[in-house]
Amino acid sequence: MGLKGKAWKFGADIDTDAIIPARYLNTSDPVELAKHCMEDADTSFAQKVQPGDVIVADKNFGCGSSREHAPISIKYAGVSCVIAKSFARIFYRNAFNIGLPILESTEAVEGIDEGNEVSVNAETGTITNVTKGETYQATVVPPFMQQIIAAGGLINYVAERMKVKKMYKIAVLPGDGIGPEITEQALKALKAVAEHFGHEFQFTEALVGGAAYDAVGHPLPKETLDLCYSSDAILLGAVGGDKWADLPPELTPERGALLPLRKLLGLYANLRPAVVFPALANASTLKPEVVEGLDIMVVRELTGGLYFGEKKREDLPDGTVRVTDTLVYTTEEIVRIARLAFELAAKRRKKVTLVDKANVLESSRYWREVVANMAAEYPDIEFNTMYVDNAAMQLVKMPKQFDVIVTDNMFGDILSDQASQLTGSLGMLASASIGGKIGLYEPSHGSAPKYAGLKRANPIATVMSGAMLLRYSFDMEKEAKAIEDAVTEVLKKYRTRDIMEEGLQLVNTDEMGDRIAEQILAG
């Protein structure tokens, strides 16, 4: 902090009433207060003082009644520093509170004459009298108090400290199959973000899915659930595999871990953005002109419908079997997901398409009623409805007609996989499950057991889920963007097998993660 200017000398016992007369205390506007600074000690001081100038006073500066107005008027008058033989305690504290540098030095006060050019190093307490070529030493202010001054006062200091101190806790659940290797790449990206933007992320790993079943006999151990509850966000790789498919349903990775996790955390909204990166327009099996520039947000209801309704398997007397899955939705469940879809659309291209099967299903008829009613509240947003079979067709025929698609759990599961292919690969589709206190972020794809450990998998969906984590759980838009921009850049040169194109460099899972992290740090 370079403090430099002309010295203005004052005597002993300058009280706060001389610094800012009581008649001006009816305002707390710093600019107003500055106009009357030192008025009762030197009537024209406020007009003569120049930015950077220094007040040099004898002992007991700032005595009298306690008022923050006093240091504020000095600071806003442009005075860079006050040097005195001593300060009244309350003034001393108030000066730090509002960020006015002050130094105690008897030798400086005695050595400096009115009008001398003075420069001050507040850190070391060295005061230089440029006019006379002398230096003096002031009592050194403790570093933490200097930091308060540097921050511009106590309030800013505390706010900055809280920002710096905030440690974001991320639960990391790698899961099964390719889960661990793709999760590792997302962590590289998040660590690069932490380094680049000065954040503190604490990652804690836990078992989930088949890996947890193998280790402790349950796909969602209590320790894992506890970790999730005590974290700020969850990053999940993928769960499932043939190895565990024949376990009793409540012990399978899907029905024993993933679905309960979504339900218990209240994650009713699953956002799956299908975005075509410019470099990948050729990677889709559809013609480039059909998918170029595509940006669809599938909003899938995640904690209701067929997934969570009553299920039954009955052995009938004749030796055959009857199976039941129930599709249940309540008003509240539909309202909250629809609300979220409209709010999202308002920040995007302002179109919502409700996908349902209202020509057959009672639940769909009611979804239509509720969502159409809500659409009336959003006159700026274009709203249409579409049967799911037609939507499946339209998605490959003319996908750019969609902005936000809102739909139930089952249709959302199917359509989001389909939408992923427009982007070139299922390996590109990130997802955010939100709505509760703690968000869960995972790629939309599964655990691909046959590729496990081969380092062939595309980690981008998981990396991009990390970007969604920053955006939706931590409100870190520019950090999320940094990951997305890094992916955009890297895709111009490097490809995993699933999106490989001639002339580009084929990389494995790890290398893709490294290139993205490097790009974040370079960006």
Ligand X SMILES: CC(C)[C@H](C(=O)O)[C@@H](O)C(=O)O
Task: Give the residue ranges of the annotated binding site for substrate.
Answer: 262, 272, 300, 389
Q: Which is nearer to ligand X, 138 or 422 (CB)?
A: 422
Rounded to the nearest whole angstrom, what is the least distance from the CB of residue 254 to ligand X in the complex? 4
Q: Count of CB atoms within 10 A of residue 311's CB?
A: 13
Which does residue 466 touch among Mg ion, ligand X, none (CB within 5 to 8 A, set by kind)?
A: none
3-state secondary structure of 54: strand
Rounded to the nearest whole angstrom, what is the least distance from the CB of residue 236 to Mg ion in the complex? 13
CA distance 117 to 104: 18
Which does residue 254 touch among Mg ion, ligand X, none (CB within 5 to 8 A, set by kind)?
A: ligand X
Number of residues that bind Mg ion (CB under 5 A): 1
Q: Which is nearer to Mg ion, 413 or 489 (CB)?
A: 413
Rounded to the nearest whole angstrom, what is the least distance from the CB of residue 415 to Mg ion in the complex? 10
Q: How far is CA 329 from the centre of its chain?
A: 32
Is residue 254 within the footprint of ligand X (CB under 6 A)?
yes
Q: Please select the residue that binds ligand X; options are 175, 209, 240, 305, rule is CB under 6 A.
A: 240
Interior CA angle at 149 toward 143 and 155, to 5°? 110
Tell me the two tokens of residue 353: 């398409």
Rounded to the nearest whole angstrom, what is the least distance from the CB of residue 449 to Mg ion in the complex? 15
Which does residue 240 touch among ligand X, Mg ion, none (CB within 5 to 8 A, set by kind)?
A: ligand X
Q: Which is nearer to ligand X, 5 or 273 (CB)?
A: 273
Which does residue 479 touch among ligand X, Mg ion, none (CB within 5 to 8 A, set by kind)?
A: none
Q: Is 20 left (phi over 0), alpha (psi -120 to 50) or beta?
A: beta
Q: Please select the residue that binds Mg ion; options are 68, 413, 479, 484, rule is CB under 5 A.
A: 413
CA distance 385 to 371: 9
Give residues 374-433 in contact with ligand X (rule: CB under 6 A): 413
3-state secondary structure of 43: coil
**Pairing state between β 54-57 and 81-84:** parallel
Q: How far is CA 199 from the centre of its chain?
A: 10
Is residue 258 within the footprint of ligand X (CB under 6 A)?
yes
Rounded to the nearest whole angstrom, what is the least distance from the CB of residue 472 to ligand X in the complex? 17
Which does residue 258 touch among Mg ion, ligand X, none (CB within 5 to 8 A, set by kind)?
A: ligand X
Q: Is 31 left (phi over 0), alpha (psi -120 to 50) or beta?
A: alpha
Annotated binding-site members for Mg(2+)? 389, 413, 417
Is residue 39 within the footprint of Mg ion (CB under 5 A)?
no
Write the DSSP assignment of 162-187 as a string of letters: HHHH-EEEEEEEEESTTHHHHHHHHH
Catalytically annotated residues = 307, 357, 389, 413, 417
453 contacts 282 by C-beta, under 8 angstroms: no
CA distance 248 to 261: 18
Is residue 446 within the footprint of ligand X (CB under 6 A)?
yes
Which does residue 303 touch among Mg ion, ligand X, none (CB within 5 to 8 A, set by kind)?
A: none
CA distance 58 to 42: 15
Q: Which is nearer to Mg ion, 298 or 480 (CB)?
A: 298
Q: Count of CB atoms within 10 A of residue 465's CB?
A: 26
Annotated binding-site members? 262, 272, 300, 389, 413, 417
CA distance 47 to 34: 10
Q: Which is nearer to ligand X, 80 or 444 (CB)?
A: 444
Q: Which is nearer to ligand X, 185 or 252 (CB)?
A: 252
Q: Which is nearer to Mg ion, 286 or 426 (CB)?
A: 426
Backbone φ, ψ for residue 105 (5° rounding): -160, 110
Q: What is the 3-state secondary structure (H, E, C) of 58-126?
A: CCCECECCCCCHHHHHHHHCCCCEEEECCECHHHHHHHHHHCCCEEECHHHHHHCCCCCEEEEECCCCE
Rounded to the nearest whole angstrom, what is the least distance from the CB of residue 219 to Mg ion in the complex? 17
Is residue 443 within the footprint of ligand X (CB under 6 A)?
no
Q: Which is nearer to ligand X, 225 or 271 (CB)?
A: 271
CA distance 189 to 199: 13
Rounded to the nearest whole angstrom, what is the least distance from the CB of residue 411 to ligand X in the complex? 11
Is residue 149 within the footprint of ligand X (CB under 6 A)?
no
Rounded to the nearest whole angstrom, what is the least distance from the CB of residue 483 to ligand X in the complex? 21
Is residue 479 within the footprint of Mg ion (CB under 5 A)?
no
Is residue 442 within the footprint of Mg ion (CB under 5 A)?
no
Burial 245-280 (b: 16+ CB within 10 A, else e): eeeeeebbbbbbbbbebbbebebbbbbbbbbbbebb
DSSP 455: S
CA distance 322 to 423: 39
Question: Which residue ranges make up the site for Mg ion (CB under 5 A)?
Answer: 413
Question: Which residue ranges make up the site for ligand X (CB under 6 A)?
Answer: 240, 254, 258, 413, 444, 446
